Amino acid sequence: MRFTFTEEQNKFRQTVRDFLQAELKAGIFVTKSGGLAEGNNQEFSKKMAQRGWIGLTWPQKYGGQGRTYVEKAILIEELFKVQAPVAYHFLADRQIGPSIIHFGSEWQKEYFLPRFVKADENMKFCLLFSEPNAGSDLVNVATTATKEGDFYTLRGQKVWTSGGHQSDYGWLLARTKIDSSVPRHESCSQFIVDMKAPGVTVRPIINMVGCHTFNEVFLDEVKIDRKFMVGQENDAFKQIMAQMDYERAGMERLLQNYPVYEKVINYVKEMGKTRKGDPFYHWVQDSVAQLEIEFNIGRLLCYNTAWTIDMGRKPTSEAALTKAYCNQYEQRLNDLATRVLGPASQIREGSPWTLYDGEIADCYLWSPSYALQGGSVEVLKNIVALRRLELPRK
Amino acid sequence: MEFNLNEETKMLQSSAEKFCKEKSPSPFVKNMIKDEKGFSEAHWKEMANLGWLGLIYDEKYGGSGGSFFDLFILFEEIGKTQLPSPFLCSAVFAGLLINEAGDENLKKTYLPPVIQGEKILTIGLRNEQGQYDHAAAALEAKESGGGSYVIKGTRILVPYAQVADEIIVCANLKGEKASGPTLFKVSGKASGLKKTPLNTLTGEKTFGVVFEDVKVSEKDILGAIGKGTTYVDKVLPKVITLKCGEMVGGLSKVLNMTVDYVKQRIQFGRPLGALQVVQHYCADISTFLDTSRLIAYQAASLIDIGFPCAKEVAMAKAWCSDAYKKSTQIAQQLHGGIGFTEEHDLHLYYKHAKVAELDLGDSWSHRQKVAEEMGF
Ligand SMILES: Cc1cc2nc3c(=O)[nH]c(=O)nc-3n(C[C@H](O)[C@H](O)[C@H](O)COP(=O)(O)OP(=O)(O)OC[C@H]3O[C@@H](n4cnc5c(N)ncnc54)[C@H](O)[C@@H]3O)c2cc1C
């Protein structure tokens, strides 16, 4: 047991911090919560690429750095504390790259991985998993990929596609076997789809924050070369199970609202200067101390999950438990923030008397999304119950 | 103890339910957010004609001398559909303040048009942090000779200020003879008033109002100088209780929407509602609804019969604030992605619950009051 970082890890953290501080100073980005899915700052991604910070954990032969997941967690922690604009490469780095490394063909590895680690043009990905009738029940996807010679033809509809309107490629789950005698989870495959291909239509969905970040995607007779299928035909769910752990494992799940947390702490410190004896101050202080405990536990969970991966173990239940915990922490944080800051926290961006330019209000509106995307809290708890605790299914 | 509504109240409830459903379907509510006025003039007239606005006022002012409990029932129905209007700020809050503090002449001048919906009043009691500060108002009224005063300061979250004929404020009066927190009515067109629309979570029409040396006269004073806090504190329990009514209404809608949705949404080959965890969540919302309704009905009913009920009102607001908000959070979770869209209606309630929680004291501040009432 060691709850401190090595000297090398501390140095790495400092390097990342220095870089980010310089970028902040230069006005390259501003720190504001809630915008993870937004923005497409390829320039920033390129700077990270130059430092070897995309594909940090990937093997060197694919252009990665072969570093540990704990180091990756350090990197992500620093990036998210200041809400660096990582959207351009984030998905490729977090899960598309690792999936290609594990399951992709030689061609896919050669084509995509070097471009990912360099943050090249036209390399932004989105996830085409969910459908109107396949949310938690992902094996219910109805989009089909029909093999015709060297091509597959895609027909169907996807939904909730974050960043679909800004992406170059979609990572798609589709049915490749239409045979009711085959279990549904053995009849799907994964594909890489060019989002500009004929037949792909992306339609915006405005969310309850009032933003356009997710979309509906229609696939109407989209022809794709078979070389864009990833892994084995009909093996998608095995692959996804492995991939999901990486999607869920990350430190970002704790830190999407870190600036809110910082603001609340600073606000309470200010309050303490004038309202020490006020009962409200005592309540606030106690609540923030509770958040601090929750935050620190979340951080330990994230590092523990990263370390589990470094130990060569599958982090399925750790990742599920960690994500469920962190999602709920973030929801409590945003709720509490509005109460600590009081009624003016309801005033949104651009209006006078707003607090932190509406960031607190917006974050309260973003809150419901955390416990849904990337596996709902209930589905994650099912995983903990069934996999870790081996509770009976029936 | 008796838990049934009497026949008259039931009739009022069902006509109010019909009215709100008909007039205030969700597309209308969403349109009103973008509308400059934020409510429908036609609805407003009808509400006046139905006698809603004057329900609790004396017949000599054009009211119907009805019961406060019935008014509560109206607000519960309004909360179900989120029907937007200046009802609470004008015909309740401002009206009650005038009724409480005003002399007979003022009441005769103001209450009838307010009850008929011809005049709209609003309330500016919240400081720049959005807190009600009538006990130590940051708004100042200085004597400027000849029985006039100059009001200076800022009020925010002033509902419907753009259409208000008068804004009622509590200003800290500094005079030679008398001083202290004092209620004033300020014409909505007074020079020196600067109104800025605020974009808030709910999108309800609300404003920041800056008073740049606004001139008023002693005729604009409501009641006695120095007694502003007392008047407001007298009226607040009623306003708080009606806010609870709105919340109970919202909560009941949230329960219905959620139960309907989990019955109809199929995942894993069966309705979500067949999953026990989902059933428990729904049972939790149902518990939040029943408990909120009981504690709020209790407050409304005690106010109605004139029993002292400071503790009951505080308990109601503390409980409803948490219960409604938590219910909307559970509902969001059970609705999945669809509930996170602007197109869906659930967010109207998620937002309303948060704003209602923060208005008029949240659960923390009302628990404080409960503790005080317990003698701590
Ligand atoms: C902001 C946002 C961004 C998203 N981005 C993407 C994206 O980029 N790509 C993509 O493919 N998808 C994306 N999603 C979709 C997301 O993965 C789904 O919302 C999620 O899988 C839940 O599916 P659903 O919305 O259909 O809800 P449902 O599956 O209908 O679930 C509704 C509720 O029922 C509960 N529930 C369902 N099944 C069970 C069960 N067996 N046991 C207990 N409870 C259960 C769920 O936990 C949830 O609370 C995004 C969603 C959001 C909100």
* Model-level ipTM above the cut of 0.85: yes
Please identify which residue in the block is written with the tokens 């390399």: A123
Fold observed for domain B229-373: Butyryl-CoA Dehydrogenase, subunit A; domain 3 (1.20.140)
Give every CB contact of residue A200 below 8 A, 6+ residues apart in sequence: A170, A193, A194, A217, A218, A219, A220, A222
Beta carbons of B240 and B361 less than 8 angstroms apart: yes
From A345, A359, A326, A341, select the one nearest A255 (Cα to Cα).
Answer: A326
Q: Do A350 and B202 touch (CB under 8 A)?
A: no
Q: Do A346 and B344 touch (CB under 8 A)?
A: no
Report the gap between the CA of B123 and the closest CA in chain A (Å).
Answer: 16
Which residue in the set A207, A348, A350 is minimally distant from B201, CB to CB? A348
Residue B58's identity, in one-letter code, is D
Q: Measure the CA–CA gap between B108 and B106, rounded to whole angstroms.
A: 5
Beta carbons of A383 and A391 less than 8 angstroms apart: no
The per-residue pLDDT for range B108-130, each reduced to its tens digit, is 999 999 999 999 999 999 999 99
Output the average pLDDT for chain B: 97
Chain A residues near residue B202 by CB distance under 8 angstroms: 346
Beta carbons of A13 and A82 less than 8 angstroms apart: no
Q: Do A353 and B355 touch (CB under 8 A)?
A: no
From B181, B300, B279, B174, select the one nearest B233 (Cα to Cα).
Answer: B181
- pLDDT at position B352, please? 98
* Distance (Å) from CA B338 to ligand 1 centroid: 9
Q: Do A343 and B347 touch (CB under 8 A)?
A: no
Q: How far is CA A270 from the centre of its chain?
A: 33
Residues of chain A with pLDDT under 50: none
Q: Compute the radius of gyration of chain A from its Cα atoms.
A: 22
* Distance (Å) from CA A219 to ligand 1 centroid: 21
- pLDDT at position A204, please? 98
Q: Measure the CA–CA gap between B45 and B53, rounded to whole angstroms.
A: 10
Chain A residues near residue B337 by CB distance under 8 angstroms: 130, 135, 159-160, 214, 372
Is pTM beyond 0.95? Reply is yes
Neighbour count for residue B38 (Cβ, 10 Å): 21
- pLDDT at position A249, please? 76
Closest residue by Cα to atom 12, ligand 1, is A130
Q: Measure the CA–CA gap between B4 and B338, rounded to whole angstroms.
A: 37
Closest residue by Cα to atom 44, ligand 1, is A378
- pLDDT at position A247, please? 72
Report the gap between the CA of A183 and the closest CA in chain B (Å).
Answer: 13
Q: Do A207 and B359 touch (CB under 8 A)?
A: no
Q: Measure the CA–CA gap between A328 and B3, rounded to whole angstroms.
A: 38
Which residue in the set B337, B340, B355 is minimally distant from A346, CB to CB? B355
From A329, A336, A208, select the one nearest B354 (Cα to Cα).
Answer: A336
Q: Measure the CA–CA gap between A208 and B345, rounded to whole angstroms.
A: 9
Fold observed for domain B7-120: Butyryl-Coa Dehydrogenase, subunit A; domain 1 (1.10.540)
The per-residue pLDDT for range B326-340, each reduced to its tens digit, is 999 999 999 999 999
Is A214 close to ligand 1, i.e. is its CB under 6 Å away? Answer: yes
Is B333 close to ligand 1, i.e. is its CB under 6 Å away? Answer: yes
Is A172 close to ligand 1, i.e. is its CB under 6 Å away? Answer: no
* Rounded alpha-carbon distances, angstroms, from residue B305 to A350, B9, B240: 46, 15, 17
Is A378 close to ligand 1, i.e. is its CB under 6 Å away? Answer: yes
Chain B residues near residue A361 by CB distance under 8 angstroms: 200-201
Chain A residues near residue B340 by CB distance under 8 angstroms: 207-208, 368-369, 372
Closest residue by Cα to atom 23, ligand 1, is A135
Q: Where do the domains of chain A lie?
A: 7-123, 126-234, 250-388
Superfamily of structural domain A7-123: Acyl-CoA dehydrogenase/oxidase, N-terminal domain (1.10.540.10)
- pLDDT at position A35, please? 61
Q: Measure the CA–CA gap between A382 and B315, rounded to whole angstroms.
A: 37
Q: Where do the domains of chain B lie?
A: 7-120, 122-227, 229-373
Arch. (CATH architecture) of A126-234? Beta Barrel (2.40)
* Distance (Å) from CA B263 to ligand 1 centroid: 16
Residue B236 backbone phi and psi in degrees, to 5: -55, -45
Which of B278, B333, B350 is the pocket-test mutation for ligand 1 (most atoms within 8 Å of CB)?
Answer: B278
Beta carbons of A46 and A39 less than 8 angstroms apart: no
Neighbour count for residue B216 (Cβ, 10 Å): 22
Q: Do the first three CATH levels of B7-120 and B229-373 match, i.e. the same topology?
A: no
Chain A residues near residue B333 by CB distance under 8 angstroms: 368, 371-372, 376-378
Q: Do A339 and B358 touch (CB under 8 A)?
A: yes
Using H for helix, E for strand and C for coil, what is the string for chain B? CCCCCCHHHHHHHHHHHHHHHHHCCHHHHHHHHHCCCCCCHHHHHHHHHCCCCCCCCCHHHCCCCCCHHHHHHHHHHHHHHCCCCCHHHHHHHHHHHHHHHCCHHHHHHHHHHHHCCCCCEEEECECCCCCECHHHCCCEEEEEECCEEEEEEEEEEEECCCCCCEEEEEEEEECCCCEEEEEEEEECCCCCEEEEECCECCCCCEEEEEEEEEEEEHHHEECCCCCHHHHHHHHHHHHHHHHHHHHHHHHHHHHHHHHHHHHHCEECCEEHHHCHHHHHHHHHHHHHHHHHHHHHHHHHHHHHHCCCCHHHHHHHHHHHHHHHHHHHHHHHHHHHHHHHECCCCHHHHHHHHHHHHHCCCCHHHHHHHHHHHCCC
Q: How far is CA B296 from the centre of its chain?
A: 14
Checking A103-109 for CB contacts under 8 A at 24+ apart, the result is: A103/A190, A103/A230, A103/A231, A103/A232, A103/A235, A103/A239, A104/A230, A104/A231, A105/A227, A105/A230, A107/A227, A108/A192, A108/A227, A108/A228, A108/A230, A109/A62
From A238, A248, A249, select the one nearest A372 (Cα to Cα).
Answer: A248
Q: Measure the CA–CA gap between A333 and B240, rounded to whole angstroms.
A: 26
Q: Measure the CA–CA gap between A290 and B251, rounded to whole angstroms.
A: 28
Class of domain B122-227 (CATH, top level): mainly beta
- pLDDT at position A37, please? 52
Which of A90, A136, A205 is the pocket-test mutation for ligand 1 (most atoms within 8 Å of CB)?
Answer: A136
Is A211 close to ligand 1, i.e. is its CB under 6 Å away? Answer: no
**B346 to chain A: closest CA residue:** A208
Fold observed for domain A250-388: Butyryl-CoA Dehydrogenase, subunit A; domain 3 (1.20.140)
* Distance (Å) from CA A131 to ligand 1 centroid: 10
- B2 part of contact set with chain A, CB < 8 Å: no
Q: Measure the CA–CA gap between B140 and B84, rounded to whole angstroms.
A: 31
Q: Is the pLDDT of residue B35 over 60?
A: yes
Q: What is the DSSP string of A95-142?
A: IIHHHHHHH--HHHHHHHHHHHHHT-TT--EEEE--BTTBSS-GGG--
Q: What angle do CA A158, A162, A167 make, to 5 degrees?
A: 90
Q: Tabulate helix, strand, coil % of chain A (nearest 5).
A: 55, 15, 30
- pLDDT at position A246, please? 73
- B368 part of contact set with chain A, CB < 8 Å: yes
- pLDDT at position A39, please? 65
Please identify which residue in the block is written with the tokens 């220095």: A18
- pLDDT at position A38, please? 59
Q: Is the pLDDT of residue B157 over 90?
A: yes
Q: Do B201 and A159 touch (CB under 8 A)?
A: no
- pLDDT at position A36, please? 61
Strands B179-187 and B148-159: unpaired
* Distance (Å) from CA B333 to ligand 1 centroid: 9
> What value does the mean pLDDT take over residues B235-239?
98
Token readout for B172 is 């800290």
